[in-house]
Chains A and B, each alone.
Chain A
Amino acid sequence: MNQSFPTTITVNEKEYKREVEPRLLLSDFLRHELGLTGTHVGCEHGVCGACTILFDGESMRSCLIFAVQADGHAITTVEGLAKDKDDLHPIQQAFWEAHGLQCGYCTPGILMTLIPFLKQNPNPTEDDIRHALSGNLCRCTGYQHIVDAVKLASEKMK
């Protein structure tokens, strides 16, 4: 039972071809095969949200998808947000300015949750924001500065 599958995945608009064992999680594929360590691994059972990525544009847990299942699909990770370090995505810039992070472990997952959220809700209320963040755990901030950052981001993106 030593299967491996040729798998082609587009990550941040770049195509990668690898042979993968079926049990390899997409989160580990991104980190260990591609060296894209921006996607963090917290709980590995879908609760903490640190590994959230975009799968064909929709936010999903990369620890609950096998890499082989992403064959032929397009993934966006946190590395795909900023053009370079001096040209951050408005959501990243807002997190910087509003102190939306402390240790930063949860941040990539939160950013990837917010990309589709702010697209679908360009004018979110505080309630909407807190609801949207309910699938991502942060143990440092108490969330207040994250909520502030999301408000700031929604203003920047108008």
Chain B
Amino acid sequence: MKPAPFEYHSPTSLEQALEIKAQYGDDAKLLAGGQSLVPAMNFRIVQPGMLIDLNRVNELSYIHEEKNTLRIGAMTRERHLEFDSSIAKRTPLLHEAAPFIAHPQIRNRGTIGGSIVNADPAAELPVLMLALDARLKAQNKSGERWIKAEDFFVGMFTTALEPDEILVEIELPFMRPRTGWSFMEIAPRAGDYALMGVAALVTLNENGRCDSAKLVYLNAGDGPVDAKETAKSLEGNLLGDALIESAAVTAGEKEINPFGNVHTSPEFQRHLAKVLTKNALKQSMRRAEENKQ
């Protein structure tokens, strides 16, 4: 099908985009990469009256390092996350996970900000933002505010952004020393939506015990699911097989809340979550040991 008619604006600066957003609020939908929005428009699931196309706002596309953080402009294409050397060095979890985001043809167009704001519970980037303790910069005509990833995702396809705000920047802290990472997902075919997936980070202390851990799941609830209780059960302990096994059970049976879909039952998703938790924790631990400096 074809999209319903809409009014189109193509600002060339953030200032112009914010001006239009201030004027029209929720009546104006932002068009980033369009890899989720345009399919929904083609199906007429959504029929926005107005689009503000951000693709000519070049100032929103960058990746740079600043004071122990990585700054990524919201309009940075997903394909760049895959090949950027700062990302590979500073946040290897993001580097490893980027190729799991759809197909190259989609990543060439899709943007980091667009996927975050879309807040699809089955998408990789919202999960990664939570796992990486991201801070997200929202801007409107009169100023800016920083929102922690954990406060940003408020429900299915829903974020904390106000109608006049635009997500402009993503700030990621550098990965800590003695930290290992892992990203794993199970999809019927490369590039398809995953049935289940997990992003893991494990930091070891000098004695080889777990100092802190993070496990965030995709397609496991109405947003990215941060398994805090599971992570807490690991802290201060040596990550032996028995502990990893019980962590997998806590995460898979208690903390996630998968709905199932045409490809999978919730029970199978829970099973996958347990297997992925074990594998991801083991890989993270191995890498943390190698990453001692």
Contact = CB atoms under 8 A, between A and B. Distances in A.
A23 B105 contact: no
Contacts of A132: 104
Interface in A46-76: 46, 49, 52, 55, 58-61, 63-66, 68-69
B38 interface: yes
B42 A63 contact: yes
Q: What is the predominant secondary structure among interface residues of chain A facing chain B?
A: mixed
Given A22-B51, A69-B53, A61 B8 contact: no
B190 A134 contact: yes
B1 interface: yes
A59 B108 contact: yes
Interface string A18-31: 00011101001000
B284 interface: no
A59 B104 contact: yes
A65 B79 CA distance: 17
B105 A60 contact: yes
Contacts of A28: 2
B268 interface: no
A110 B121 CA distance: 30
B108 A58 contact: yes
B99 to A, nearest CB: 9
Interface in B31-47: 34-35, 38-39, 42-43
Interface string A94-128: 00000000000000000001001100000000000
Given A44-B1, A52-B105, A55-B108, A23 B6 contact: yes
B148 to A, nearest CB: 31
A28 B8 CA distance: 18
A46 B42 CA distance: 10
B189 A134 contact: yes
A45 interface: yes
A69 B109 CA distance: 12
Nearest to B102: A135
A135 B108 contact: no
24 contacts: A1-B6, A21-B5, A22-B5, A22-B7, A22-B8, A22-B51, A23-B3, A23-B5, A23-B6, A44-B42, A45-B42, A59-B104, A60-B105, A63-B38, A65-B109, A66-B53, A68-B10, A69-B10, A69-B53, A116-B104, A134-B191, A135-B104, A135-B106, A135-B191
